[in-house]
Amino acid sequence: MAATGEKKLVRSHSGLRMVCMNANDTSPFTLPEPQWIPDADMGFCMNRNCQAKFDFMKRRHHCRRCGKVYCNTCCDKKLPLPRMCFVDPVRHCNNCYENTFKENEFYDKHLKTLLTGGQFLMLDQDENSDNSESFLCKLSNNHRLLQVVTTDIDTQDEEGNKMGTGIALRYKDNYEDSQTVKMEVIDGSNKKQGMTWVAAMQKAFKMIYESRTSSSSP
């Protein structure tokens, strides 16, 4: 059994990929590689506005994200594709280019925010309770867990008791029971970091949700 977090380099027909040795470490943001449409099945570029005929001058190229066959003109843009763990930038068709471009913004910006973490207050069931504890919440390095580090911040002198921006996370505990945690961003110097963290978390869920709904309709 591979140690936690260990990765290995694998070569697929699409290129070199760095993948986790242990499937349990695979990030939930990861997309599976698409099935490649066989060369022999396609005489024409699959871009409806192009449909160039392939011959020994016009070569076939596969988009690494959708696996469809295109001519060079319709599939010549290369982008990093971290969701499929490619080491180098890979070929994209015009459609897929836009999706990956947006997602790479998530990887460059919001994922860093999630890994750095934000300061929150745990919202107690009992609203009048004074012992709400503040904590740092961050995404684990394999993106699969939320790590919580409690810190001692005095929250006694809060009188107005305004509801701030927060996030409710529903999860299954070790006994497969549904649990909900409600967290509130702490007012003060760390507020911006907490708000940014919540926004990044929402982007993460949206990205996963959107690729699930789009992959079910070919």
Q: Which stretch binds Zn ion (CB under 5 A): 3-11, 60-68, 154-162, 164-172?
A: 60-68
Give yes or no for residue 132 binding Zn ion (CB under 5 A): no
Sheet holding 166-172, edge to edge: 146-151, 134-139, 118-122, 178-185, 166-172
Least Cβ distance, residue 204 to Zn ion (angstroms): 23
Q: Considering the rule CB under 5 A, would residue 45 count as an interface residue with Zn ion? A: yes
**Residue 105 CB, nearest approach to Zn ion (Å):** 18
Using the rule CB under 5 A, is 60 a contact of Zn ion? Answer: no
Q: Please tell me the distance from the alpha carbon of residue 111 to that of residue 197, in angstroms, as a whole number.
A: 9
Give strand ranges (E) for the chain.
7-12, 15-20, 61-62, 69-70, 77-79, 90-92, 118-122, 134-139, 146-151, 166-172, 178-185
Can you tell me which of 25, 62, 63, 84 binds Zn ion, judged by CB under 5 A? 63
Least Å from the CB of residue 65 to Zn ion = 5
Backbone CA torsion sign across 7, 5, 193, 166? positive
Number of residues forming the site for Zn ion (CB under 5 A)? 11
Q: State in angstroms the smallest separation of the CB of 34 from Zn ion.
A: 8
Classified as helix, coil or strand, 68 is: coil
Number of residues that this document lists for the chain = 218
Residue 50 binds to Zn ion (criterion: CB under 5 A):
yes
* SS3 of residue 83 by DSSP: helix
Smallest distance from Zn ion to CB 80, Å: 15
CB nearer Zn ion, residue 71 or residue 121: 71
93 binds Zn ion (CB under 5 A): yes
The binding site for Zn ion (CB under 5 A) comprises: 45, 47, 50, 52, 63, 65-66, 71, 74, 93, 96
